[in-house]
């Protein structure tokens, strides 16, 4: 009789599996900052430091009584899962880099007993298969007890460990995926090689050997050489929630019905049988699949994961995501090889992203019984605290799908997409940080993102475009967007010391652009790295060094779009500099921004079309260029009619069009130009995605690679800031302006979390366009309501009717 393998696996349950009920594990405020580590990094003897491998560690110890507190500080490379007396309690470390290697501080006292206890830790290293976002120095485990009592569990040669030979990688098949994919590999687990029950106190470990010390601890307070520079985790533990599949969409060779999905029946598969079935989660999810089975010695069970099915073997065409007939499955797989035991539990090392799961089974002479197959949702614990209600039910659906998109793209860092990359890019992150702040009120991941990108700056001065990332990538305009994101944070959070600490980084980025400007015009020359702007259809490889997503440039490498992004960063940097007393730098930003605008106006403005060209050659025109001109020309120093420009931007179909990412800026420009009322009529791309059965918003219009992309959740931000018109006009959200743009809506009601409470209101619009309603502001917040160019002063903590 085999013990249920709650051990093989990765992602944690917050509520432990145990004979007695435990309180949920919480991070401890006590950490190792300012203290010297006494524990060492350890690994099983003979461990190849950078090879793929899964390693098991045990530390038996005895306590004279049940402790009221038992705090440990734990980390590993690449990842770990902690068990206490058989209960899975924690997974980590939170993602970072070698210069900021995270450790978790937790109180495990609720899981301990008087007498014999055991800490058991599963550590894995993906080796050459590790995700693009995973840094690594070498395989290792580190645990330090917080005081003399807890020091009994410090990692040293008193620990024992082995390599779990049951695991082997299944590399991602790039030919089948047919897209850029850089997440972790699939995994094959051979049940015959698993030391079942290794995490329990009762396990016999007499043949395990003592581990060896493989590294001393470095921190910012100690050490002369940096190995892993230890810093405490700065984010909460991930949410973990069990979920079941919605339906069985296909089955071949076996009978599988909804009763199995509900846990009411098992699926029995005879010997020497091949069968498969397709499960539908109903919506895209990011979760940890769990499979419980019995028997089946010699069988093979594979689980394949896909966001959607495809219309053909080649290409990105997917059609209606709800349809499965006539489509093909393309995805990546995990594989489990049962050993014939009565109760085996399978769980891969990392969560998977999927709507559809293809289960393929081939049995040998031993029959197989599937007892349970479901999953455990895993994501950053965002709470939907904002509310947005209107008389248009389609907007509610966009809100729902947008928030699901945001949730799946938030984990230990923000993700651009949860299926293909799980990387944090600056361009994506700025948008999802704003959505997160306005819908949940949570700014923790936003702060972490700003800090990580600042840490990514190299000797040339730019931030990396994505981080953490083991391979560096530069997108120079993304470094400018990092400045915009820092300014967003400054306007929304009362955290002046943090913002001030990043001003040197702002200066470093701006200096790089100064060093890469044209000698005569003073404009930025786009002749290095990848100057990505948008996935606009017309911007493809041109055989002359231009990469996809890059706007046109002239013979000198000049692009209006890139220079306007520089001007936008200068605008925000000027505001930051002035607030913190860097007046010389602020004045320099103002002068440079005005010079950029004046030069572009002279060389690229077409008065007949009343648009700004993409280059001085005036051969290419896009929505991007003119909308950025509106955003950058804040004081209208050029004397242009911004409303007229934006009317042309949204009506002239000959212009290169914005896709999902840059429509965020398009809608910002609508608001700034006074055309916010047209916003709801420009959501055609989001409505089309709903019509195609998407349950999250895609990277770009079909055909698209990613069905879930963070930047496409921007309506959840603009519903609150454009339709309801709420924006911060004072540092730290201290001053608020409310200027609704209801378009054709009859009514809209909103609620937005704020550090001091909630910003709430309701608008009603009659057939003549007259708006009435009420608003309230939280404590200690100033505000003004703007209706038809009339301003009404708002008082904090008081309902104002109008």
Percent of the chain with pLDDT over 90: 93
* In a shared domain, residues 306 and 271: yes
* In a shared domain, residues 227 and 257: no
Domain endpoint, select from 176, 205, 235: 235
The residues with which 163 forms a beta bridge, in sequence order, are 55
Label residue 657 exposed, middle or buried (CB < 10 Å: 0-12, 13-18, 19+). Answer: buried
**Helices 426-440/660-673 angle, 10° precision:** 60
Q: Tell whether 223 is covered by a domain.
A: yes
* In a shared domain, residues 107 and 248: no
Q: How far apart are CA 490 and CA 579, in angstroms?
A: 10
Count Cα atoms within 13 angstroms, Cβ side, for 311.
10
Band of the pLDDT at 224, cuts 50, 70, 90?
low
pLDDT of 666 higher than 90: yes
Q: Model-level pTM?
A: 0.95
pLDDT score recorded for residue 9: 33
CB-based contact 371:315 (threshold 8 Å)? no
Band of the pLDDT at 227, cuts 50, 70, 90?
confident
Q: Tell whether 336 is covered by a domain.
A: yes
Mean pLDDT of the chain: 94
Tokens of 189: 């687990």
What is the distance, to the nearest Å, from the Cα of residue 144 to the centroid of all Cα atoms in its chain?
A: 30
Instruction: Provide the residue count of the chain.
Output: 802
Q: How far apart are CA 798 and CA 801, in angstroms?
A: 10
> What CATH number did the domain enclosing 114 receive?
2.60.120.260
What is the distance, to the nearest Å, from the Cα of residue 180 to the centroid of all Cα atoms in its chain?
A: 17
Q: How far apart are CA 775 and CA 795, in angstroms?
A: 10
* In a shared domain, residues 202 and 339: no
pLDDT, tens digit (0-9, with 9 covering 90-100), for 68-103: 999 999 999 999 999 999 999 999 999 999 999 999
Coarse DSSP helix, strand, coil percentages of the chain, rounded to the nearest 5 percent: 25, 30, 45
pLDDT of 2 higher than 50: no
- What residues contact residue 174 under an 8 Å CB cut-off, 6+ apart? 181
**Number of domains the chain is built from:** 2
pLDDT score recorded for residue 693: 98
**Helices 444-455/476-492 angle, 10° precision:** 140
Band of the pLDDT at 451, cuts 50, 70, 90?
very high
* In a shared domain, residues 208 and 284: no
Percent of the chain with pLDDT over 70: 96
Write out the residue range of the structural domain in which residue 218 sits.
41-164+195-235
Tokens of 127: 């080796």
Secondary structure element (H or E) that encloses residue 117, with its range: strand 115-125
3-state secondary structure of 466: strand
Domain endpoint, select from 348, 379, 410: 379
What is the distance, to the nearest Å, from the Cα of residue 321 to the centroid of all Cα atoms in its chain?
A: 23
Q: Tell whether 633 is covered by a domain.
A: no
pLDDT of 246 higher than 50: yes
pLDDT of 226 higher than 90: no
Average pLDDT over residues 140-165: 97
* In a shared domain, residues 75 and 89: yes
Domain endpoint, select from 379, 410, 445: 379
pLDDT of 353 higher than 60: yes
Q: How far apart are CA 710 and CA 468, in angstroms?
A: 17
Q: Tell whether 696 is covered by a domain.
A: no
Q: Tell whether 714 is covered by a domain.
A: no
CB-based contact 705:465 (threshold 8 Å)? no
DSSP for 618-684, please give it. Answer: ----BHHHHHHHHHH-TT-TT---HHHHHHHHHH-TTSBPP-HHHHHHHHHHHHHHT-GGGGGGG-H
Q: Tell whether 343 is covered by a domain.
A: yes
Q: Tell whether 225 is covered by a domain.
A: yes
Q: For residue 666, what are the CA distances in angstroms to 228, 645, 722? A: 43, 12, 12
pLDDT score recorded for residue 20: 40
Q: How far apart are CA 676 and CA 539, in angstroms?
A: 28
pLDDT of 544 higher than 70: no
Average pLDDT over residues 425-453: 98
CA nearest to 500, candidates 729, 731, 728:
731
């Amino acid at each position: 009789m085999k013990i249920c393998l709650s051990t093989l696996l990765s992602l944690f349950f917050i509520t432990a599996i145990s004979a007695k009920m435990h309180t949920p594990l919480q991070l401890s405020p006590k950490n190792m900052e300012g203290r010297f580590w006494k524990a060492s990094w350890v690994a099983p003897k003979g461990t190849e430091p950078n090879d793929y491998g899964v390693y098991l560690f045990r530390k038996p110890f005895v306590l004279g009584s049940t402790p009221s507190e038992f705090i440990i500080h734990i980390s590993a490379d690449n990842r770990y899962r902690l068990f206490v007396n058989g209960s899975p309690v924690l997974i980590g470390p939170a993602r970072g880099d070698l210069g900021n290697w995270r450790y978790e501080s937790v109180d495990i006292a609720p899981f301990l007993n008087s007498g014999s206890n055991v800490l058991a830790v599963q550590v894995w290293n993906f080796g050459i298969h590790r995700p693009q976002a995973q840094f690594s120095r070498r395989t290792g485990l580190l645990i330090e007890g917080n005081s003399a009592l807890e020091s009994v569990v410090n990692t040293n040669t008193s620990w024992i460990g082995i390599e779990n030979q049951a695991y082997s990688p299944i590399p991602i098949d790039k030919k089948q995926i047919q897209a850029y994919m850089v997440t972790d590999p699939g995994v094959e687990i051979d049940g015959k090689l698993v030391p079942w029950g290794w995490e329990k106190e009762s396990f016999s470990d007499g043949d395990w050997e003592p581990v060896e010390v493989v590294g001393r601890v470095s921190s910012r307070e100690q050490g002369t050489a940096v190995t892993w520079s230890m810093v405490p985790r700065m984010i909460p533990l991930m949410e973990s929630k069990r979920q079941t599949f919605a339906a069985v969409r296909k089955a071949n060779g076996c009978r599988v019905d909804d009763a199995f999905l509900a846990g009411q029946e098992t699926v029995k598969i005879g010997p020497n049988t091949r069968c498969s079935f397709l499960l539908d989660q109903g919506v895209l999810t990011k979760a940890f699949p769990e499979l419980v089975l019995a028997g089946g010695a010699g069988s093979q069970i594979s689980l394949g994961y896909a966001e959607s099915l495809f219309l053909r073997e080649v290409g990105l065409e997917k059609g209606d995501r709800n349809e499965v007939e006539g489509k093909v499955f393309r995805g990546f797989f995990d594989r489990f090889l049962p050993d014939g035991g009565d109760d085996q539990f399978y769980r891969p090392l990392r969560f998977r992203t999927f709507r559809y799961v293809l289960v393929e089974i081939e049995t040998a002479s031993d029959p197989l019984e599937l007892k349970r197959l479901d999953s455990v949702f895993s994501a950053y614990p965002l709470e939907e605290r904002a509310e947005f209600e209107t008389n248009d039910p389609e907007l509610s659906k966009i809100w729902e799908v947008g928030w699901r998109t945001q949730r799946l793209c938030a984990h230990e860092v923000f993700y651009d997409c949860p299926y293909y990359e799980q990387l944090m890019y600056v361009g994506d992150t700025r948008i999802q940080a704003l959505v997160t702040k306005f819908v949940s009120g949570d700014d923790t991941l936003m702060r972490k993102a700003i800090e990580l990108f600042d840490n990514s700056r190299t000797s040339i001065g730019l931030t990396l475009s994505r981080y953490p990332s083991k391979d560096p990538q530069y997108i120079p305009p993304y470094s400018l967007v990092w400045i915009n994101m820092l300014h967003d944070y400054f306007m929304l959070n009362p955290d002046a010391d943090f913002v001030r600490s990043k001003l040197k980084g702002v200066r470093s980025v701006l200096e790089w652009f100064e060093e890469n400007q044209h000698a005569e015009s003073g404009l930025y020359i786009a002749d290095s790295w990848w100057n990505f702007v948008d996935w606009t259809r017309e911007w493809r490889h041109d055989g002359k060094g231009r990469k996809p997503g890059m706007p046109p440039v002239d013979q000198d490498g000049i692009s209006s779009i890139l220079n306007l992004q520089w001007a936008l960063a200068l605008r925000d940097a000027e505001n930051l500099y002035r607030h913190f007393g860097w007046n010389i730098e602020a004045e320099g930003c103002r002068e440079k921004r005005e010079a950029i605008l004046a030069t572009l106006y002279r060389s690229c403005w077409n008065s007949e079309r009343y648009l700004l060209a993409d280059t001085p050659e005036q051969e290419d025109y896009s929505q991007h260029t003119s909308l950025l001109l509106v955003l950058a020309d804040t004081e209208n120093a050029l004397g242009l009619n911004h409303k007229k420009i934006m009317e042309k931007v949204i009506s002239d179909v000959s212009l290169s069009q914005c896709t999902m990412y840059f429509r965020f800026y398009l809608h910002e420009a609508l608001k700034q130009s006074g055309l916010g009322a047209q916003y709801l009529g420009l959501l055609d791309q989001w409505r089309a995605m709903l019509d195609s059965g998407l349950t999250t918003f895609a990277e770009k219009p079909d055909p698209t690679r990613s069905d879930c992309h963070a930047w496409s959740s921007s309506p959840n931000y603009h519903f609150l800031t454009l339709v309801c018109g709420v924006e911060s006009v004072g540092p730290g959200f201290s001053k608020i302006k409310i200027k609704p743009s209801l378009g054709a809506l009859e009514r809209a009601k909103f609620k937005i979390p704020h550090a001091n409470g909630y910003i709430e209101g309701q608008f009603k619009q009659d057939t003549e366009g007259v708006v009435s309603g009420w608003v309230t502001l939280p404590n200690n917040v100033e505000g003004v309501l703007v209706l038809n160019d009339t301003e009404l002063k708002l008082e904090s903590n008081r309902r104002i009717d109008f």
